[in-house]
Amino acid sequence: MSIVKRGNLKNSWYLPAILSGLGITFKNMILNLFGKRKMLTLNYPEEKYEYSPRFKGSHVLTVKKDGSIRCTACMLCATNCPADCITIIASEHDDPSVEKYPIAYEIDTLRCVYCGFCEEACPVDAIRMGPEWQMPGINGANFVHDIRQLAKRPNLKGGVVSVLDEEERHKAGI
Amino acid sequence: MSPLLEKWKDYFQKPDRITRRVFVAAKGCCAIEVENLIASTYDIQRLGIDFVQDPRSASLMIVSGWIDDSFADEIIENYAYLEQDKKVVAVGICSVAANIFYTEKKIRLADLVPVASYIPGCPPRPEAMIQAILNLDVPAKKTKKMTYLSEVMKSNG
Ligand code: SF4
Ligand code: SF4
Ligand code: SF4
């Protein structure tokens, strides 16, 4: 390996580079002092970052118009999940037009990678990736989310109603 | 209190947030999100939390990434060096639950050192990490012990 020495006068002087670097620092400092609203820093606990609608956050189980769970317990999401973190127990429904419904639906958030494969696999738009980021917890906190938390947590304000209509779905044969 | 001190009272008050010095043992893709904490967008130094190079001057360790044998030794050694009131935060499911896939070798962080806070996600958002560090000082609420389906199904085969 050889060392290349460039005898250029411009390269041997480091002061102009330092001054231009300090210039950027002072420019940003003065801009931040007088234009506080344009500052890049997010004051996190007071301000919240606005995520785009396609952000993949905590799961949401959507509900029908009458408030019951839309999921038909077809197990496609549990099969597609790479982390193997969805547990479903299916049961027959009293209503003959509804084939099956889950009596228990659990997602282990300590194994989930928030990939969105469950959302893609679902044929009836029953599970979605929600807008909130995943919540940290102390040791021993509740990390396995059940139906009550997935469908009716306080953040959702009574549940997300899917736009897919039940009668249209039966006509299309899904 | 003298009137002069009264005027400058705010400057002598204790900060309402506890100062923490953090040692970062971050590996894998989560390390990029952890580094985000001291960058300009989520500037963690305004909360009185700072990253240091030496575990001897830190009281909190952030661990992320896939844990193999050499990294496990490093974690145990650095945990012994931490100051009093040692706390460890596990970031990302690689360190929380070994890996998403069932592989031959599984080392979870909880097998090596006591973990104070878990942050799920792959990778978690920087806000979640800030929230976890701030929540460390809040006394824990007692939660009801629940029985989970997955545990019941595993024990039944
Ligand atoms: S987001 Fe991915 S890892 Fe999480 S439950 Fe859905 S399929 Fe499984
Ligand atoms: S794929 Fe959709 S309908 Fe099927 S079990 Fe999963 S959430 Fe329910
Ligand atoms: S938890 Fe996910 S993002 Fe973090 S190190 Fe592991 S694979 Fe990478």
Closest-approach residue (CA) in chain A for B101: A83
Neighbouring-strand partners of residue A106: A87
pLDDT at residue B75, rounded to an integer = 94
DSSP at A69: B
Task: Determine which of A51-65, A135-149, B107-121, B133-147 has the lowest per-residue pLDDT on average.
Answer: B133-147
* Nearest CA-CA distance, residue A98 and chain B, Å: 24
Q: Which residues contact B128 (CB under 8 A, 6 or more apart)?
A: A133, A134, A135, A136, B119, B121
How many whole angstroms separate alpha carbon B85 and alpha carbon B87?
6
Say whether A16 sits in a helix, a strand or coil.
helix
Please write the tens of the pLDDT for every residue from B115-146: 998 998 888 999 999 988 888 876 656 555 55
Instruction: Enumerate residues 6+ apart whose C-beta is below 8 A from B95.
Output: B30, B63, B64, B65, B66, B67, B108, B109
Number of structural domains found in chain B: 1
Question: With a CB-CB cutoff of 8 Å, which residues 115-134 of chain B face chain A?
Answer: 115-122, 124-125, 127-132, 134
Q: What is the mean pLDDT of residues B10-38?
A: 79
Distance CA B77, CA B112 (A): 11
Q: Is B29 in the pocket of ligand 3 (CB under 6 A)?
A: yes
The predicted complex's ipTM stands at: 0.76
pLDDT at residue number A100: 87
Segments making up each domain of chain A, as ranges: 59-171
Residue B76: other Cβ atoms inside 10 A: 11
CATH number, residue B128: 3.40.50.12280
Place of tokens 């029953």: A126
Amino acid, res. B48: G
pLDDT tens, position by position, B31-84: 999 998 988 888 888 888 889 989 999 999 999 988 888 999 999 999 999 988
Residue A53: predicted pLDDT:
83
> How remote is the CA of residue A139 from the centroid of ligand 2, in Å?
30
- Count of residues making up chain A: 174
Rounded Cα–Cα distance for residues A170 and A97 (Å): 9
Query: Token pair for residue B75?
Result: 């974690």
Minimal Cα–Cα distance from B106 to chain A, Å? 13
Question: Within a 10 A sphere around the Cβ of B60, how many other Cβ atoms?
Answer: 22
- Peptide bond before A16: cis, by omega within 30 degrees of 0? no
Query: Could you give the CA distance from residue B134 to residue B125 in angstroms, rounded to a whole number?
Result: 15
Tell me the pLDDT tens digit for each residue of B89-110. 999 888 888 877 766 678 889 8
Task: Render pLDDT for A103-113 as a digit per residue (tens, 0 to 9).
Answer: 889 998 888 99
The DSSP symbol for B56 reads G
Give residue B80's domain range.
Answer: 3-156
Smallest Cα–Cα separation from B117: which of B134, B100, B101?
B134
Cα angle for residues B111, B117, B119 (degrees, 5° grid): 95
User: Which residues neighbour B146 within 8 Å (Cβ) at sequence distance 6 or greater?
Assistant: A142, A144
Residue A84 scores a pLDDT above 90? no
pLDDT band at A1 (very low <50, low <70, confident <90, very high): low
* Average confidence score pLDDT of chain A: 84
Q: What is the pLDDT of residue A88?
A: 92
Mean pLDDT score, A47-73: 86
**A83 within 8 A of B100, measured Cβ to Cβ:** yes
**Span A59-171: which CATH code?**
3.30.70.3270
Q: How confident is the model at residue A42 (pLDDT cuts 50, 70, 90)?
A: confident
Write out the two tokens for B3.
């009137």
What element of type H or E holds A168?
A: helix A166-172
Q: How far is CA B31 from the centre of its chain?
A: 12
pLDDT at A173: 57
Which residue among A60, A81, A134, A149 has the greatest number of ligand 1 atoms within 8 angstroms of its CB, and so is best to mutate? A81
